[in-house]
Structure 1
Amino acid sequence: MASIDDDMPILAGVNPSGRASSYESEHACLIIGYMIDDDDEVTLIVNDPYPYDRMGVRNPYYEAGGDELQLGQYEIEYYAFRRQLAWNRSLSRIR
């Protein structure tokens, strides 16, 4: 959160297939923001321009309960992003 609050996105390595791996990531996306609701639940704002639908590939954000805010940008609950997209790598403090 500190990185995002300082206007520095987080490069996230994920596995859209849902297969967790501690060694490799299948895909990369950019976490650019977050929201915290009244119950302290965190929702991430993620830029992922991969054209899942046009490529005929299942969209992992939809399957994890996320919503597309605009083309290539999603909001998704933090724990769903961690579990269902198998977030396993991060590079933060990017300028």
Structure 2
Amino acid sequence: MVKAPFYDKNGLKKGAWTPEEDDKLRSFIQRYGHSNWYKLPKLAGLSRCGKSCRLRWLNYLQPGVKRGNFTNEEEDLIIKLHEEAGNKYI
């Protein structure tokens, strides 16, 4: 059973993104870019706020976003850098 989407008082959709919304956002940004996140949802035909679109793009849809576990090389690098710098960064 899927929860129905919630719309706030301004008519903006909240909650989980649908694959159709992802496709709209991805195709719009690949075609026109993302110069103004505030105007992007209206131009792309989405009922979302600009911040939601920006976060969805940066954290999930942007090409090159690596998801999943660290590789052994990445784990070794993290351990090496932690030994050099410790828990604090400068």
TM-score normalized with structure 2 length? 0.26
Q: Which structure is higher in helix share?
A: 2
TM-score normalized with structure 1 length? 0.25
